[in-house]
Amino acid sequence: MTGAPAVTRPETGAQGEAGFGIYLHWPFCRSKCPYCDFNSHVREAVDQDRWRAALLADLAHAAEKSGPREVTSVFFGGGTPSLMPPETVAALIEKIDALWGLAPGTEITLEANPTSAEAESFAGFARAGVNRLSLGVQALGDEALKFLGRQHTAAEALGALELARAAFPRISFDLIYARPGQSLAAWQAELAEALALGPEHISLYQLTIEEGTVFHGAWRRGELRLPEEEAAAALFEATAGQLEDAGLPAYEISNHARPGAQCRHNLTYWRYGDYVGVGPGAHGRLTFGGTKQATREHRAPEAWLDLVERQGHGWRQVEAVTPEQRLAEMVMMGLRLTEGISRAALARELQGAPEELLPVERLQRLSGEGYLEVDETGLRATAAGRQRLDALLGYLLA
Amino acid sequence: MTDLSHIRNFAIIAHIDHGKSTLADRLIQLCGGLSDREMKEQVLDSMELERERGITIKAQTVRLSFTAQDGETYELNLIDTPGHVDFSYEVSRSLAACEGSLLLVDASQGVEAQTLANVYLAIDNDHEIIPVLNKVDLPAAEPERVKEQIEEVIGIDASDALEISAKTGKGVAEVLEALVKRLPPPKGDAAAPLKAMLVDSWYDSYLGVIALVRVIDGKLTPGMKIRMMGSGATHLVDKVGAFTPKMVNLKELGPGELGFINASIKSVADCNVGDTITDERRLADKPLPGFKPSVPVVFCGLFPVDAADYEDLRDSLSKLALNDSSFQYEAESSAALGFGFRCGFLGLLHLEIVQERLEREFDLDLVTTAPSVVYKIHMTNGQMIELHNPADMPDVVKIDHIEEPWIKATILVPDEFLGPILKLCEDRRGEQVDLTYAGSRAMLVYRLPLNEVVFDFYDRLKSVSRGYASFDYQIEEYRESELVKVSILVNQEPVDSLAIIVHRGQAETRGRMLCERLKDLIPRQLFKIAIQAAIGGKVIARETISALRKDVTAKCYGGDVSRKRKLLEKQKAGKKRMRNIGNVEIPQSAFLAALKMSDN
């Protein structure tokens, strides 16, 4: 793919198209972070040729299944995709263009760690066609970074951000908050510092203890304590207010953007569009044979590689998604978005209206309590509802 | 058939742990009833539960053949009695089948309350009582002090009490000798029409119902058609016999003898303890005195934790009832707990035993509601209703007055704990009847409302006396009382299974306690939850569970959809165990815990 990087602005209204995204998973990291339960692995060496060939083959297989579709976004996630050789990224983007066709300006995101080593590849990624970089900054203080097991300092992260700005038209970065011992005031100061960097998009995640992580063990032993519900709620509410004031309102639970700067790719997930998942452990939702199918690739990197080389693709499981499951998935993803779920999208996916598909008395109770809005355009969770979304979903769907 | 002069029938009266079963085992061993190899420890307590708790639930008998110093061989029938007051009627029937008792007392512990009640029952049955001090070889044994206590507290002569160690066998032969010499032989007329008392019955999966009988007059033989004089039922006798303790078939059972009959009896409900058995073709003129059907005094609801176990519970209850004619049950449904059964018991121990057997032998997880006594509700229209379930309490405006059962409780306790026990009894609306001392032990007699006793009294008693107090009671009378029903409401909707009937003076404390507990047990939800305790329309306590403030997964992208959806599906399956009350989904475990705590 060639051409000058152009900023695309996805449609944002409730009528926004779900789109069709391609996700590629690069499972390798330099080191494993103590909070992360993603499918990531530390390896001494990676056979780059074999990996590139396997990912290309897997893409070709996905295209065969999907048939011709207009790709609205590409996303390199991981793991640490900024450890990929830029030539591999280039080859994969070219392949996607060849298989489906890539319109100029299509959003192509790559996740990167803000270390100086990785920053050296930024220009190469941009040349390959990446036009949006998502930086895992995570914190703006060195102590916090150390606690989170990150390999970079705050200064390094700011340097990487500078370089990224020069290379990519669109930038986002992540921060992790509600860390043990972090006061509301300290977080607000850190956030103000982050906002002073002028991001157009920012992802703010409250620290969660996931099973199988180093933090989980420490938490179970009582060595690590997260803020209680009240404190976590206060942090969440203050964050929403501060970002709103800064002109980056939440468009999803943890994602904030200037109008028009939302991540096109992630919107596809939340709007329950189709997406291809390529690479170890990648999940997809792909309509073929007349039905939406849930696809899952083999999780272990080496086994995935072997599988692709043997059978030509990495699919481990393919399952038709039943209407009931589609309803649950669409509602639980869609209500994460501030825009909610449009009646049109529900009708398209499930041939019904909210009042037909969901228990009316529960919709009414949630509305009465101020957690949900149901109107002529669709249904959406209010700020209060989004803050309690897991319980809301349990009430509505379980 | 053994000649009357060569028969002795006896029971052993003892407190838990005072060595009754061990003594019985030694007696069986000495008389050669079982070889050493066959001898399992504590042969008579056959149910696993009995063995574990060291108490006898079902009476059993054993026939011993003993050659005394006079050279004659005697038939000694030991009838094992339930050791707990819940079964006092069963005990009284067992005792009525004997002429004497061994009063077995631990020489290091002394007389306990339960022993006292049973020994009075034996005295009422004109028993010759032989005091036996057990565990005299223990360093802590104080035989002289215990003899004094027997004389003071019970009022019988203990000067010729036997001193034994059932564990080592010391003095056990003298016990057998004393039975022959000191107990009177039974009386009876072999030629008279059959008159036998039904002492106990149980269901054997091979033989059907086995009835334990004591023949008074006449003979019981296989092939005979018998009539139960109380129920009027007739049955054909298949087998008669005795336990040695092995089951041995005999040609006949004569006057004075104890043994079993196996007739084509389908259910133990046809075999009422205390009923008189006679010959259908040659009827006795009148039945034996003292027969009364057993009446449950404590009721509670039993619900399966998993609604799918309802049928299993029903089957298990019917199997239990086969063996326990005093246990009653009927179907009940509760908004909070689903479908279950309202069950009636002879007392708290009986309740606990049934509950444990259901959980253990039948592998059921159960929710038990707070035990309730039987209230007599006198309506303004003159009608009287017996209320077994607080949830069924009629509208107060239609009630003229309510009566509740009172008990007479006997408590024996080392005097250092007397203070807190007096306070406990006073707090529970008790009226002191008597307070006497025997050495350093106090014997306290109180009248108490039974409903105060079913609510954690026994546990409190044990805790304030560090386990040293022993307790026994008898139901005495019904008395009018100012009782109210306290309802627990979740978002204005009553939770039927948590309703309690209490004295007005305690309503607020108990109501507040239940509200506070529920507040801790019900997890915060999307919506605010009001928990109230109320008497009729009047709220007496209130707690609020505020709505949860934050509950959301931070990250949810394309790779998380399947996992997250499966979590929701799991949650949905888990909701089968939730109860919806006042629009609040409440985990059944919360009710369970609330109920558990209310009996602690």
Residues B167-216 pLDDT 10s: 898 999 999 999 999 999 999 999 999 999 998 887 776 777 888 999 99
- Residues A90-108 have a mean pLDDT of 96
Measuring CA to CA, which residue among B103, B102, B36, B27 is closest to residue B65? Answer: B27
Residues 317-346 of chain A whose Cβ lies under 8 A from any Cβ of chain B: 325, 328-329, 332-333, 336
Among A113-122, A336-345, B142-151, B330-339, the range scoring the smallest mean pLDDT is B330-339
Q: Which residue of B526, B554, B568 is in closest CB contact with A397?
A: B568
Q: Is the pLDDT of residue B147 over 90?
A: yes
**How far does A240 lie from chain B, in Å, by closest CA?**
13
Q: Structure tokens of B99?
A: 């002429």
Q: Is the pLDDT of residue B467 over 90?
A: no
At B51, the pLDDT band (50, 70, 90 cuts) reads very low
On chain B, the residues whose CB falls within 8 A of the CB of A371 are 526
Please report the sign of the dihedral spanned by the C-alpha atoms of residue A123, residue A124, residue A125, residue A131: positive
Q: Is the pLDDT of residue B29 over 90?
A: no
The count of other CB atoms within 10 Å of the CB of residue B441 is 21
What confidence score (pLDDT) does residue A9 get?
42
Whole-angstrom distance, CA of residue A183 vs CA of residue A162: 29
CA distances from B244 to B39, B60, B61, B75, B473 (A): 12, 11, 8, 11, 34
Q: What percent of chain B has pLDDT over 90?
A: 48
- Residues A103-125 have a mean pLDDT of 94
Q: What is the DSSP letter of B42?
A: S
Give pLDDT tens digits for A130-149: 999 999 999 999 999 999 99
Whole-angstrom distance, CA of residue B102 vs CA of residue B340: 43
Print burial letters for B236-253: b (CB count within 10 Å at least 16), e (below 16): ebebbbbbbbeeeebebb
**How far does A322 lie from chain B, in Å, by closest CA?**
12
Whole-angstrom distance, CA of residue B504 vs CA of residue A144: 60
Measuring CA to CA, which residue among A78, A76, A175 is closest to residue A126? Answer: A76
Give pLDDT tens digits for B248-274: 899 999 999 999 999 887 777 778 888
Instruction: Find tokens 């007055």 and name the residue.
Output: B401
Measuring CA to CA, which residue among B524, B530, B515, B261 is closest to residue A230? Answer: B524
Peptide bond into A79 cis (omega under 30): yes
DSSP B88-145: HHHHHHHHHT-SEEEEEEETTT---HHHHHHHHHHHHTT-EEEEEEE-TTSTT--HHH
What confidence score (pLDDT) does residue B272 get?
80
Q: Structure tokens of B166?
A: 């059932």
Q: Is the pLDDT of residue A35 over 50?
A: yes
What confidence score (pLDDT) does residue B48 get?
52
Measuring CA to CA, which residue among B492, B489, B574, B583 is closest to residue A369? Answer: B583
Whole-angstrom distance, CA of residue A216 vs CA of residue A213: 5
The phi and psi torsions of A132 (rounded to 5 degrees) equal -145, 130
What confidence score (pLDDT) does residue B39 get?
56
Contacts of B28 (CB under 8 A, 6+ apart): B34, B39, B43, B62, B64, B245
Helix axes A86-99, A48-66, angle to 10 degrees: 20
Judged on CB neighbours under 10 Å (0-12, 13-18, 19+), B446 is buried
E-assigned strands of B155-266? Answer: 162-163, 195-204, 208-217, 225-228, 234-243, 247-250, 258-263
- Residues B579-584 have a mean pLDDT of 78
CB proximity A362 to B under 8 Å? no
- Residues B536-560 have a mean pLDDT of 94
CB proximity A277 to B under 8 Å? yes
What confidence score (pLDDT) does residue B34 get?
64
What confidence score (pLDDT) does residue B356 get?
82
Q: Is the pLDDT of residue A14 over 70?
A: no
Measuring CA to CA, which residue among B153, B28, B36, B19 is closest to residue B83? Answer: B19
**How far does A235 lie from chain B, in Å, by closest CA?**
10
Q: Taking the mean position of all CA atoms in its chain, how far away is CA A26?
A: 14
Measuring CA to CA, which residue among B576, B589, B577, B512 is closest to residue B543? Answer: B512
Measuring CA to CA, which residue among B235, B257, B219 is closest to residue B62? Answer: B257
Question: Is A354 within 8 Å of A378 (Cβ atoms)?
Answer: yes
Measuring CA to CA, which residue among A98, A19, A58 is closest to residue A285? Answer: A19
Whole-angstrom distance, CA of residue B367 vs CA of residue B303: 5
Q: What is the DSSP letter of B555?
A: -
Residue A62 DSSP SS3 = helix
**Do the chains contact at A230 and B559, CB–CB below 8 Å?**
no
Residues 111-130 of chain A whose Cβ lies under 8 A from any Cβ of chain B: none
Q: What is the ipTM of this complex?
A: 0.94
Q: Structure tokens of B575?
A: 């909701």
Amino acid at the residue A242: Q
